[in-house]
Amino acid sequence: MRSALLDIPIDIVETIVENAFGWLVVVDNKGKIIYINKNYCEFLEVEREKVLGVHVSNVIENSRMHIVAATGKEEVADLQYIKGNYMIANRIPILSNGQVVGAFGTVFFRDTREWMKMNSHVKSMLTKIQSYIQDIDRSVKYSLDDLLGKSKEIESLKEKVKMIAASDISVLIRGESGTGKELFAHSIHQLSNRSHQPFVKINCGAIPENLLESELFGYEEGAFTGAKKGGKKGKFQLADGGTLFLDEIGDMPLNMQVKLLRVIQEGEIESIGSTESISVDVRIIAATNRPLEKMMEEKRFREDLFYRINVVPFTIPPLRERMDDIPVLLDYFIKKITKKSGKRISFVEDEVLERFTQYSWPGNIRELENVIEASVHLTNNEVISLDSLPDYLKESSVFPVGSKKLKEILEETEKRVLIQSINKFNDDKIEAAKALGISKSSMYEKLKKYGIFHL
């Protein structure tokens, strides 16, 4: 039977397809884009000719088109976060002779404001959905591509992420402050089967002990004075079906460690003020810069919890152990900062790169980014030179022989090492003293001598 569509001129069909939908994309069964209309290209700020044949996940943020094309299961009215807005998308498989040959996707509402114009029933549903969205961050900001570096240490860690991401096993990410632990957590979630579910994070060291339980497990209405009407969901409930990232888990109080262990073992939580348990399905990714083994010896961290979260350990090397990555990071941060600031940087002097590779970077990648940002703003031209660097880096590894006595040079060097050590251990002077191989009393004597009281 001949289809009437075959009698319509191709240019008319193209006009209809271009304009019948706000945004439209079509992929083959491998997830590669074979058609995308002009409106969608303009929104994504891409050129149609350049994205044809490209995998859809590399063009459209949080896309699931390739999954629909592979499974043949349609997804209707699904929330999708693109460029700062939650949009409602339909994804429909394309069949030919009973076989899935691809999929097409359309944006049903381009943002939640359009949905708000619908009838009162939809408005009521949207209010509930939006309040849920506001409580959690479903979007993952970083992917494996954001883990910059060509060193064998970083490449090895990237491969490890790919190997374990699809499973539900717990992961413990360890590394000094500023090494990028959260980036790895985001990357693991994004590559997992839970990627379309919530990614919820909580900093265990930033929340007061008396509030941590309610943040993790939530509370019922009237559970305590000041409790919000209707109660509040905890992070475990918000992360149900997805991933919970427990940052700085080494700072979690012992009493909370016991409750966390119970949740991990039994998959159930009990909100404050409730007498009933709620089942939750959450993958745990934890991170810390604390020496957990030593803390276990000192009874400050539970062994049973450690072995529960340390199923797959990740240790991110400090920047001083991956100096080969500095040129890559330098180039990335310069582009990022100049784009934001509007300044132009065309060249970095070799002496600057040499100084960077000589420095120990106690603040790791975070410190490197701050140094580059300062240097971009401190330079009077388009070249980053030694004069553009912050003062403490200008003096790094440069000893003023001839202008100062040996004693003065040694004292300045000792002061610099003390400051770097305390920064590294987050102002924990006892840990810094142990790392330097000196006693607690000697550490405090030296700090007093050099006037180092708080960093």
Looking up residue 153, the CATH number of its domain turns out to be 3.40.50.300
- 95 φ/ψ angles, rounded to the nearest 5 degrees: -110, 145
CATH at residue 38? 3.30.450.20
Classify residue 117: in a domain, yes or no. Answer: no
Q: Residue 6's pLDDT band (boundaries 50, 70, 90)?
A: low
Shared domain for 246 and 217, answered yes or no, is: yes
User: Collapsing DSSP states into helix, strand and coil, what is residue 332?
Assistant: helix
Shared domain for 72 and 177, answered yes or no, is: no
Among 349, 368, 395, the domain boundary falls at 395
By percentage, how much of the chain surpasses pLDDT 90?
36
Shared domain for 170 and 190, answered yes or no, is: yes
Residue 14 belongs to domain spanning:
10-109
Give, for 93, the enclosing helix (H) or strand (E).
strand 85-96
Summarised one tens digit per residue, pLDDT across range 318-371 is 998 898 899 999 999 999 998 888 888 888 999 898 888 878 888 899 999 999
Shared domain for 292 and 367, answered yes or no, is: no
Shared domain for 296 and 154, answered yes or no, is: yes
pLDDT at 78: 81
Shared domain for 29 and 42, answered yes or no, is: yes
pLDDT at 403: 53
Among 256, 289, 315, the domain boundary falls at 315
Query: Higher model confidence: residue 403 or residue 167?
Result: 167
Number of folded domains in the chain? 4
Give, for 263, the enclosing helix (H) or strand (E).
helix 254-266
Classify residue 57: in a domain, yes or no. Answer: yes
Shared domain for 249 and 356, answered yes or no, is: no
Q: At what angle do helices 429-436 and 440-450 cross, to 10 degrees?
A: 110
Classify residue 288: in a domain, yes or no. Answer: yes
Shared domain for 36 and 150, answered yes or no, is: no
pLDDT at 312: 87
Q: Residue 117's pLDDT band (boundaries 50, 70, 90)?
A: very low
Contact 104, 118 (CB under 8 A): no
Query: 3-class secondary structure for 264-317?
Result: HHHCEECCECCCCCEECCCEEEEEECCCHHHHHHCCCCCHHHHHHHCCEEEECC
pLDDT at 136: 46
d(CA 47, CA 149): 29
Q: Which of 364, 359, 357, 368 is nearest to 334 (CA)?
A: 368
pLDDT at 339: 85
d(CA 142, CA 282): 20
Give 159's contacts (C-beta < 8 A, 6+ positions apart).
none
d(CA 297, CA 213): 25
Shared domain for 158 and 282, answered yes or no, is: yes
Q: Which of 151, 142, 77 is nearest to 115 (CA)?
A: 77
Shared domain for 212 and 189, answered yes or no, is: yes
In terms of C-beta density within 10 A (0-12 exposed, 13-18 middle, 19 or more buried), how is residue 370 classed? Answer: middle
Shared domain for 305 and 364, answered yes or no, is: no
Summarised one tens digit per residue, pLDDT across range 182-230 is 999 999 998 888 888 899 999 998 888 888 988 999 888 766 666 677 7
Classify residue 245: in a domain, yes or no. Answer: yes
Residue 181 is encoded by which pair of tokens? Answer: 């632990």
Give 250's contacts (C-beta < 8 A, 6+ positions apart).
205, 288, 289, 290, 292, 295, 301
Contact 332, 370 (CB under 8 A): no
pLDDT at 276: 85
pLDDT at 8: 63
DSSP count for the chain of H helices, then E strands = 20, 14
Classify residue 266: in a domain, yes or no. Answer: yes
pLDDT at 54: 94
User: Collapsing DSSP states into helix, strand and coil, what is residue 192?
Assistant: coil
Classify residue 123: in a domain, yes or no. Answer: no
Summarised one tens digit per residue, pLDDT across range 292-303 is 999 999 999 999
d(CA 263, CA 37): 48
Confidence check: pLDDT of 404 > 90: no
Classify residue 114: in a domain, yes or no. Answer: no
What is the value of pTM for the model shown?
A: 0.58
Shared domain for 145 and 203, answered yes or no, is: yes
Contact 184, 164 (CB under 8 A): no
Classify residue 160: in a domain, yes or no. Answer: yes
CATH at residue 390? 1.10.8.60
Contact 56, 31 (CB under 8 A): yes
Half-sphere exposure of 354 (CA within 13 A, CB side): 8
